[in-house]
A and B are shown apart, each in its own frame.
Chain A
Amino acid sequence: MTILSLKSSENFLKNKSEFIFLIGSSLTSLGILLVTVGGSWDITNHLLSKPETFFSPPHAFMYSGVAVSLIGVILTFIGWKNLEKFKNSYFLSFKIKLIGIGLLTGAGPLDFIWHSYFGLDGLLSPPHFTLIIGMFFCSIGGMIGISRYLKFNNSQSISKYLLILAVIPVWLSASGIISSLSLPFSSTDFFEFNPEPTIAFIVASLAYPFLISLSLTLIFRLSNYQFGITSILGGLFLLIYSSTAIVPNLAMFDTVQFYSLNFIPFVIADIFLKLNRSKFSMFFIGGLLGSVFYMVYYPYVMYTYNEILLGKLVSPSLIYFVYFELIQTVLLYTLIPAVIMGVLGVIFSEKLAKRILMN
Chain B
Amino acid sequence: MKKFLIYLSSFVILFLYFVLSVFILPSEFLMTDQLVPEPVFEATLSKTDIVLGDSFRLDIISENTGDYADIHIVSIGFPTLSKLDDVVKIATYDFSLSPSYISVGEEIGSNYSGGVETTFAQYPSIEAISRPLKSNIETHFDVVITPKTSGVFNVYVKSIGIPHTSDVSHYPYSGTLDHQNEHVLVYSVTVNP
On whether the two chains bind one another, the answer is yes
Which residues on A are within 8 Å of B, measured CB to CB? 48-49, 51, 251, 254-255, 257-258, 261-262, 264-265, 268, 271-272, 275, 288, 295, 311-313, 315-318, 320-321, 324-325, 327-328, 331
Please list 13 pairs of residues, one from A and one from B, whose beta carbons are closer than 8 Å in the complex, sorted by A's number. A264-B14, A265-B14, A268-B14, A271-B6, A316-B132, A317-B163, A318-B163, A321-B30, A321-B34, A324-B27, A324-B29, A327-B26, A328-B22
A328 to B23 Cα, complex, angstroms: 8
Q: A313 near B10 (CB under 8 angstroms)?
A: no
Take A48-B132, A265-B14, A268-B10 as given contacts and tell me if A316 and B30 are in contact as well, using a CB distance cutoff of 8 Å: no
Tell whether B96 is near chain A: CB-to-CB under 8 Å.
yes
How many B residues touch A, CB cutoff 8 Å?
Answer: 32
B56 to chain A, nearest CB (A): 32
From the candidates B6, B26, B29, B132, name the one contacting A328 in the complex (CB within 8 A).
Answer: B26
Q: B163 near A272 (CB under 8 angstroms)?
A: no
CB neighbours of B151 from chain A (8 A) = none
A255 to B23 Cα, complex, angstroms: 14
CB neighbours of A255 from chain B (8 A) = 29
Q: B116 near A312 (CB under 8 angstroms)?
A: yes
A102 to B23 Cα, complex, angstroms: 47
A147 to B68 Cα, complex, angstroms: 49
A295 to B163 Cα, complex, angstroms: 24
Q: A324 near B116 (CB under 8 angstroms)?
A: no
Top 7 nearest A-B pairs by Cβ distance?
A313-B114, A315-B70, A49-B131, A324-B26, A264-B17, A258-B25, A268-B10
B11 to chain A, nearest CB (A): 9
A257 to B29 Cα, complex, angstroms: 11
Chain A residue nearest to B129 (CB atoms) is A49
Tell whether B186 is near chain A: CB-to-CB under 8 Å.
no
CB neighbours of B10 from chain A (8 A) = 268, 271-272
Q: B29 near A321 (CB under 8 angstroms)?
A: yes
A240 to B57 Cα, complex, angstroms: 51
Chain A residue nearest to B26 (CB atoms) is A324
Most buried by A among B13, B26, B113, B164: B26
Q: A311 near B116 (CB under 8 angstroms)?
A: yes
B36 to chain A, nearest CB (A): 10
CB neighbours of B116 from chain A (8 A) = 311-313
B31 to chain A, nearest CB (A): 10
Q: A313 near B115 (CB under 8 angstroms)?
A: yes
From the candidates A311, A317, A324, name the one contacting B30 in the complex (CB within 8 A).
Answer: A324
CB neighbours of A261 from chain B (8 A) = 17, 20-21, 25
Chain B residue nearest to A315 (CB atoms) is B70
Q: B21 near A258 (CB under 8 angstroms)?
A: yes
A145 to chain B, nearest CB (A): 35
Tell whether B35 is near chain A: CB-to-CB under 8 Å.
yes
CB neighbours of B23 from chain A (8 A) = 328
CB neighbours of B7 from chain A (8 A) = 275
Take A275-B3, A313-B115 as given contacts and tell me if A49 and B22 are in contact as well, using a CB distance cutoff of 8 Å: no
A327 to B132 Cα, complex, angstroms: 27
Tell whether B155 is near chain A: CB-to-CB under 8 Å.
no
Tell whether B91 is near chain A: CB-to-CB under 8 Å.
no
Tell whether B128 is near chain A: CB-to-CB under 8 Å.
no
Chain B residue nearest to A259 (CB atoms) is B21
A137 to chain B, nearest CB (A): 34
A338 to chain B, nearest CB (A): 13
B132 to chain A, nearest CB (A): 7
Take A258-B21, A315-B162, A316-B70 as given contacts and tell me if A288 and B34 are in contact as well, using a CB distance cutoff of 8 Å: no
Tell whether B143 is near chain A: CB-to-CB under 8 Å.
no
B163 to chain A, nearest CB (A): 5
A254 to B31 Cα, complex, angstroms: 13
Tell whether B87 is near chain A: CB-to-CB under 8 Å.
no
A313 to B113 Cα, complex, angstroms: 7
Q: A331 near B114 (CB under 8 angstroms)?
A: no
